[in-house]
Chain A
Amino acid sequence: MVKKLFDYRQLGFKAGLEIHQELNLNNKLFCKCPNILQRGEPDFIIKRFFRPVMGEMGEFDKAMLTEYEKNKTVVYEGFYQSTCTYELDETPPTQINEEAVETGLTLTLLLKGTPVDELHVCRKNYLDGSVTCGFQRTVIIGLNGAVPIENKIVPITSISIEEDAARKISEENGVIRYRLDRLGIPLIELVTAPVLEHPEEIYEAAYRIGLLLRATGKAKRGIGTIRQDINLSIEGGARVELKGVQKLEWINRLVEAEIQRQLSLIDIKNTLLERKGSPETLVFNPVNLSKIFEKTKCKLVSNSLKQGKQVLGIRLPYFKGLLGRKIQLEKSFGFEIADKVNAITGLKGIIHSDEQLSKYGFEEHEIGEVKLTLGLNSEDAFALVIGELEKANKAVKIIVERCRLAYTGVPLETRRVLEDGSSRFEREIHGGARLYPDTDTPPLKISVDQINSIQRSLPPYPWETEKIYSEKYSLPIKVVRELILEDKIDLFIEIVDRLSIDPVLVSKTLIETMKALQRENPKFKEISDDKIFEIFKTLKTGRIAKEAVEDVMRILGSDENITLDVALEKLGLREITVEELDEIIRVCVEDNLKLIKEKRERAFTPLMGEVMKKVRGRIDGRIVSEHLKRELNRIGGE
C-alpha cells in the first residue's frame, strides 16, 4: 500500500490527548485491597444487570442509553485476595487513598497547573459493566497545566485521579465477563486541549507526559499500564475518540486510518446530497422477507430460518454503491454499519446490496423479489438482517439511524483502536451528563501547607534525561528514547552500572533482539526484568557466551514458567556436579594415559583444555583445575 501523506494543515486537523496511567501504590483508590493482577481460576463469580439513571442535570446521557439497549448480562470474576465487598459494590468506599491524591498534586505542580481547593469526588457512569456499581469514582485534582513540546505549549485542561475499570475477559452470546482484580486500581488521567496539529505533535506530547508521569516515581510500568486516547477531528468531519492506544508508535498509523475514514464519510455525504437525498427518506420500516427465502440454497439463511429466526429487509434510498465503498483501510461503509449492529445487538452481520450476493448462495430471482418487495429504485440499496425478530428489528433500527447520520458525514463516536490501525464502534461520545456528585464521599480540602510541602520536594524535570543518558553511555538519543519508551531504561542502567557490560550490547539485546524474537514467535511472552538481569549475570561470569544470550531469551520467552536454569539446561548448559566432573576427568585421564606417562606435569595443560571443552560454562574452571590436578597426582602416585 502506498503511504498516504496528508497535508494536516489543509485538513484542519486538530487532536487532543487523554492519558491514563496506572499508579504503583500499595492499595486501591477507595478500598484497602492490594494493587495486583491475578492469574488462574477465579475464586467466585457474580452476575449482574444494569439500568440507566438520570444525571444531576436532569437528562439521560445518550451514550448511556445505547449501553442500556445492549441489555447484557455481566459476569464478574473475583479473587478473595484482590477483591473485597467494595469492588462488588456491596460496601461504601473508604477514605480516598492519600498517596494517590499526593501524586495527582505532584503532577499538577510539575505541569504548573492550579491545584483544586476542595476535591469533590464525582461519579462517571459506565454502563458497559466494567465497573460493578455502574459508575467510576473520579476526582479532579488540578486544572490549567501545560506541557512544552518542540514548538508549542500544550495546555493540560485537567489532571484527575480515578479508579481503573475491571478487565474484560470475554464477550459472547450477550454475556460479558470481567475480572475484578484491576477494578479500583488508582489511575491518573490527564487531558490536553485539542491543539495538536500533526501526528508527530501527538507523539511528542504523549511522550513528554509519559516522562513526567514517570518522574513522579509512582507510575506503574509495563504494557497496558499507560493508555492513550486520541480525540481528533478534521474540517467537515467530527470529533472521534480513538480509545486504547497502548504504544506511541501506533499513533501515526491510527491517525492516518481515521482521517481516511472521515474523508470517505464526507465523500459519501456529498454523494448523497448530489443525489438529492435527505435523512427523511430513511424510514424505519423493516419488511419481513422470510417467505422469499423458504427454499433458498443459501445455507446461512436456511439454517437461521430453521432455528425460527427471521430475515428482515430495509430499503436504503440513494445508498446504491455507497455501502460497498471502502472507508478505512480495506473496510467498507457496509462493514462499518454491520460492525455497529454487532457492537450493540451482538448479531453477526448484515447483508447488503453492494456485496456480491451470489457468494452467499442467493439466486437471481430471490434478489429480484427482495428488490420488488422493498420497492427499490435505481439509486437505492437494501440491507438484510437475519436474527430473532426482536434483535433483527433493533438491528434494522440501527442501520436506519446510521444511514441517516451519513448525511451529517462523520458521527460523534468513541472507537476502539485495532492493531491493524483501523478502529471499531464502541459507543456514542459521552456528554457531561454522565458525571454527577458522589454522595458516598465527603469533599476533601487541600491545604496550602500540603501544596507547599509538595512544591518543596518536586522531582526535577525529566526533559533533560535523554541527553544525560545519551552522553553518559555514549548512545544515540534515539536509542535512549527507545529504551525509555519500551520501559527498559531502568533495567538497562542496572545491568550496565552493576555488571559493567557494554552499553551497546545491552541496549541492542533489550531492544533489537527482543523485537526480533517477538517477530519470530507471535506468542513470545515478556521476560521479567529479574530474569533478564540474571542472563547478563551469567554472561558476566562467563558461563554463557555473548552469542548464547539470544538463545536463552528465546527459550525463556516461549514459556513464562521456565526458569533460567532450565533454559540453560535445555541449551546443554546445565551445571554439572562435582561427581559428574570427576567422572569426566577420570575418562579423560584414562584415554590419555600414554600422554601422561610421556609428558608428566606438562600433560596438565592439554588435558585441562580437553576437559574444559566438555564442561565449559557448566562448572567453575578453578574446580576443574583443582580436581584434574588431584587426579593426575593420584595417578602419578600409583
Chain B
Amino acid sequence: MGFKDFLKGYRGNLRVILESAGAKIWSFIRVIRDDQIFEGVLLPRSDLDDDQHINLKLKNGYNIGVKYSPNMRIEVLDYKPVSYRLPEKKLFFKPDKPNITLIGTGGTVASRLDYNTGAVIPAFTPSELFSAVPEIEDICNLTPKPVMSVLSENMKPEDWVKIAKEVDKEITNGSVKGIIIAHGTDTMTYTASALSFMLRNPPLPIVFVGSQRSSDRPSSDAAFNLINACIFAAESNVGEVVICMHGSSSDNYALIHRATRVRKMHSSRRDAFKSIGSIPLAKLEAGRIKILLKNYTIAGAKKYDPQISLDTKVALLYFYPGMDASVIDYFIDKKYHGIVLIGTGLGHVSELLLPSIKRAVDSKIPVLMTTQTLWGYTGLNVYETGRKLLAAGVIPCSNILPEVAYTKLMWVLTQTDDLKQIRSLINTNMVGEILDREEYNGFMILQGVENGVENILKNI
C-alpha cells in the first residue's frame, strides 16, 4: 500500500468536516451536535460501513458510532498515535535444541486486528511470535520464514507449488529437524495433501498448523497448536506431511492427522479437523507424543523423492440433482486436463451426464469419481448407473477424499497424460491417501460427536 490515510474509512461530508477540523485517526476529539457533546478518540472506520457515522472510543473504553449532522462541529483536543506491536524479544540460539523452520503463508497463527475490514490480519515477525509464545524457546530454535501473505481462501495451486519449493529448499539445506507451515484452516487440507504428493518420503516431519480462534483472542488456540506442532516437528521421527490441530474442545491434547486423510469438518470448532475413515496418526498431550497409526513412514527410511509441479487445469465438481451436462462440456471446451467428480453414494451421477463424461474421456481428459459421503468407498460395479459410468471411462477413486483426489490428479498429470497410466497411478496408494481396508469403527471414531469420545481419547 505505502500510502497512509489519516482518515481511514471516512468519506463524503463527514470526511470534509473531520479534515477541516484537523482531525486524524487517533486524535482525541470533541463532537458537538445540537445540545449533545461526545468526546473520544477518533477510530478508523471500515470501508464497508456507511459514510454517515464517526467511530469514537469514549473515555470509558467503549466504542460508539455518532451520526453525521450538517450542523455538527468537531474540535481536536489531543493526538497520540498508537502502535500495535508486541514487545520485542531477543532470541538466543541454543545448540542443544533442534532447528525448526516455520514457513508463514498468512494464516492466523499470529495475527492482529485490522480496521479496514474490522477483521483479523496476520502479523508475522519473529519477535512478535516469540513474545506471544515464549514456550517455543524451550522446545527448539524456531526460525520464521514468511513466504507469502495469502488468506487461506485466496490460496491457489500455484501457491502450493511455491510453498513446496520453499520446503524443499529447507530440506536440501539439511540443517533443520522439522518444518512447520502456518496456514489458514479453510484450505489447509488442500495445500497439505498437494505437498504430500509433491514431496514424497520427506526425511523430516512437515507439520501444517493453524488456528480456529485468531491469536488476537485470549482464548486463541494458536499458541497451543503451534507449541504442539513444534514438539512434533522437533521430536518425532515421522517422515510425512501432517496437520497438527486441537484434538478436543478443551486445551488438553492435539491430534496429528495424515495430510491425505484429514478434513475440516466444522466451520468454527477448535477440533474441526478430523481424520476420515481412519484414526489420527498421533496424539500429543502434556508434551508427549503418542503414535496411534503404526504404519507411518519413518523419516529417512525411504528415499526422499521431490517432484514439485502441478497441472493446475483440473476441475473439482460437486454433483447435484438437476446438474446440467453443459457444466462438464464447459471444462472440456476450456481444454481442461482433468475432472474430479464428487458423486452421490457409491459414486453416482445422473445418467444425463453420461454423454458429456464420455466426450471428456474421448478427448483424453481423465474423469475421476469420488463420493459425497466422504466415508466409505466408491463402488461402481454395484448398480446399473455405476456400471454405465465405468463403461464411459470414469476412474473410480476408491476411498480417496474428494479434495485429495483433486490435488493428486494435478500431480499425476505432471507425470503422465496416458489415461491408462493415470488410472493406475490414481489407484496406487502413494502417501496414505487410500485405505486398503476400512475398520469397523473407522466410520465414526474420533469425530467428536459420539458419547464418551473424551474418555476414549484419554485412555488411548
Interface residues in chain A, defined as those with a beta carbon under 8 Å from any beta carbon in chain B: 44-54, 56-58, 85, 88-92, 114, 116-120, 122, 124-125, 127, 132-135, 138-140, 143-144, 157-158, 160, 191, 431-437, 439, 442-443, 445
A residues in contact with B270, CB < 8 Å: 90
| A85-B250 contact in complex given A122-B62, A132-B219, A158-B62, C-beta closer than 8 Å | no
Decide: B113 and A436 in contact? CB cutoff 8 A.
Answer: yes
How far in angstroms is the closest Cβ of chain B from A127?
A: 6
A432, closest chain B residue (CB) = B61
CB < 8 Å neighbour of A122 from B61, B212, B217, B454: B61
A114→B64 CA distance, assembly (Å): 12
A88→B65 CA distance, assembly (Å): 30
How far in angstroms is the closest Cβ of chain A from B279?
A: 22
Decide: A140 and B62 in contact? CB cutoff 8 A.
Answer: yes
Decide: B219 and A50 in contact? CB cutoff 8 A.
Answer: yes
B266, closest chain A residue (CB) = A90
Which residues between 330 and 368 of chain B lie within 8 Å of chain A, taking CB atoms?
A: none
Decide: A92 and B268 in contact? CB cutoff 8 A.
Answer: yes
Decide: B118 and A439 in contact? CB cutoff 8 A.
Answer: yes
| A118-B64 contact in complex given A91-B268, A437-B113, C-beta closer than 8 Å | yes
Decide: A432 and B60 in contact? CB cutoff 8 A.
Answer: yes
A571→B55 CA distance, assembly (Å): 67
Decide: B113 and A52 in contact? CB cutoff 8 A.
Answer: no
Decide: A48 and B219 in contact? CB cutoff 8 A.
Answer: yes
A413→B251 CA distance, assembly (Å): 31
Question: 8 tightest CB-CB pairs across the interface, nearest first?
Answer: A134-B218, A118-B65, A435-B61, A432-B61, A117-B67, A120-B63, A47-B250, A90-B269
B459 touches A (CB below 8 Å): no
B220 touches A (CB below 8 Å): yes
Decide: A114 and B55 in contact? CB cutoff 8 A.
Answer: no
Decide: B67 and A160 in contact? CB cutoff 8 A.
Answer: no
A20→B85 CA distance, assembly (Å): 34
| A134-B65 contact in complex given A46-B249, A58-B83, A114-B36, C-beta closer than 8 Å | no
Decide: A119 and B64 in contact? CB cutoff 8 A.
Answer: yes
How far in angstroms is the closest Cβ of chain B from A434?
A: 6
CB < 8 Å neighbour of A157 from B38, B60, B66, B251: B60
Which residues between 253 and 298 of chain B lie within 8 Å of chain A, taking CB atoms?
A: 266-270
Sample 16 A-B pairs with CB under 8 A, ordered by A number: A53-B218, A56-B113, A58-B83, A85-B269, A90-B269, A91-B267, A117-B66, A118-B64, A134-B218, A134-B219, A140-B62, A140-B64, A158-B58, A158-B60, A158-B62, A442-B118
B388 touches A (CB below 8 Å): no
A135→B219 CA distance, assembly (Å): 9
B residues in contact with A56, CB < 8 Å: 43, 57, 82, 84, 113
A residues in contact with B113, CB < 8 Å: 56, 436-437, 439
Decide: A437 and B61 in contact? CB cutoff 8 A.
Answer: no
A4→B228 CA distance, assembly (Å): 59
Decide: A58 and B62 in contact? CB cutoff 8 A.
Answer: no
A residues in contact with B250, CB < 8 Å: 45-48
B residues in contact with A435, CB < 8 Å: 57, 60-63
| A120-B65 contact in complex given A90-B270, A437-B118, C-beta closer than 8 Å | yes
Decide: B268 and A54 in contact? CB cutoff 8 A.
Answer: no
How far in angstroms is the closest Cβ of chain B from A63?
A: 12
Decide: A443 and B84 in contact? CB cutoff 8 A.
Answer: no
B195-220 vs A: 1/0 string, CB under 8 Å?
00000000000000000110111111
B143 touches A (CB below 8 Å): no
B residues in contact with A157, CB < 8 Å: 60
B residues in contact with A138, CB < 8 Å: 62
B65, closest chain A residue (CB) = A118
CB < 8 Å neighbour of B217 from A119, A133, A437: A133
A residues in contact with B249, CB < 8 Å: 46, 88, 90
B102-135 vs A: 1/0 string, CB under 8 Å?
0000000000110000111000000000001000
B residues in contact with A434, CB < 8 Å: 61
B35-66 vs A: 1/0 string, CB under 8 Å?
01010010100000100010101111111111
B residues in contact with A140, CB < 8 Å: 58, 62-64
| A122-B53 contact in complex given A48-B219, A49-B251, A134-B219, C-beta closer than 8 Å | no
A445→B66 CA distance, assembly (Å): 10
Decide: A47 and B65 in contact? CB cutoff 8 A.
Answer: no
B residues in contact with A132, CB < 8 Å: 219
B446 touches A (CB below 8 Å): no
A134, closest chain B residue (CB) = B218
Q: Other CB < 8 Å A-B pairs besides A51-B132, A89-B213, A135-B218, 12 of them?
A: A50-B218, A56-B82, A90-B249, A116-B65, A120-B63, A143-B38, A144-B36, A432-B57, A432-B61, A435-B57, A437-B63, A445-B53
Decide: B59 and A432 in contact? CB cutoff 8 A.
Answer: yes
How far in angstroms is the closest Cβ of chain A from B159?
A: 25
B residues in contact with A432, CB < 8 Å: 57, 59-61
B252 touches A (CB below 8 Å): yes
Residue of A46, A54, A90 ringed by the most chain B CB atoms within 10 A: A90
How far in angstroms is the closest Cβ of chain A from B73?
A: 16
B48, closest chain A residue (CB) = A442
A residues in contact with B220, CB < 8 Å: 51, 53
Decide: A120 and B55 in contact? CB cutoff 8 A.
Answer: yes
B residues in contact with A119, CB < 8 Å: 64-65
A residues in contact with B454, CB < 8 Å: 44-45
B86 touches A (CB below 8 Å): yes
Decide: A117 and B218 in contact? CB cutoff 8 A.
Answer: no
B residues in contact with A122, CB < 8 Å: 61-63
A133→B217 CA distance, assembly (Å): 7
A residues in contact with B55, CB < 8 Å: 120
B223 touches A (CB below 8 Å): yes
A439→B113 CA distance, assembly (Å): 8
Decide: B218 and A125 in contact? CB cutoff 8 A.
Answer: yes
A75, closest chain B residue (CB) = B250
How far in angstroms is the closest Cβ of chain B from A105?
A: 14
Decide: B217 and A135 in contact? CB cutoff 8 A.
Answer: yes
Decide: B251 and A116 in contact? CB cutoff 8 A.
Answer: no
A265→B365 CA distance, assembly (Å): 85
Residue of B132, B249, B270 ringed by the most chain A CB atoms within 10 A: B249
| A443-B65 contact in complex given A48-B250, A57-B82, C-beta closer than 8 Å | yes
CB < 8 Å neighbour of B219 from A58, A133, A433: A133
B residues in contact with A134, CB < 8 Å: 217-219
A51→B251 CA distance, assembly (Å): 12
A residues in contact with B217, CB < 8 Å: 53, 133-135
B residues in contact with A443, CB < 8 Å: 49, 53, 65
A residues in contact with B219, CB < 8 Å: 48, 50, 89, 132-134
B residues in contact with A114, CB < 8 Å: 36
A88→B249 CA distance, assembly (Å): 8
How far in angstroms is the closest Cβ of chain B from A393?
A: 18
A143→B85 CA distance, assembly (Å): 32
B69, closest chain A residue (CB) = A117
| A48-B251 contact in complex given A56-B84, A58-B84, C-beta closer than 8 Å | yes
B residues in contact with A143, CB < 8 Å: 38, 58, 64
B residues in contact with A125, CB < 8 Å: 218
B residues in contact with A439, CB < 8 Å: 113, 118-120, 216
A residues in contact with B120, CB < 8 Å: 439
How far in angstroms is the closest Cβ of chain A from B111?
A: 10
A residues in contact with B118, CB < 8 Å: 437, 439, 442
B214, closest chain A residue (CB) = A439
A182→B63 CA distance, assembly (Å): 25
A residues in contact with B62, CB < 8 Å: 120, 122, 138-140, 158, 160, 435
A residues in contact with B67, CB < 8 Å: 117-118
Decide: A117 and B53 in contact? CB cutoff 8 A.
Answer: yes
A433→B38 CA distance, assembly (Å): 19
A133→B268 CA distance, assembly (Å): 13
B373-396 vs A: 1/0 string, CB under 8 Å?
000000000000000000000000
B residues in contact with A44, CB < 8 Å: 454
B residues in contact with A45, CB < 8 Å: 250, 454
How far in angstroms is the closest Cβ of chain B from A135?
A: 6
How far in angstroms is the closest Cβ of chain A from B223?
A: 6
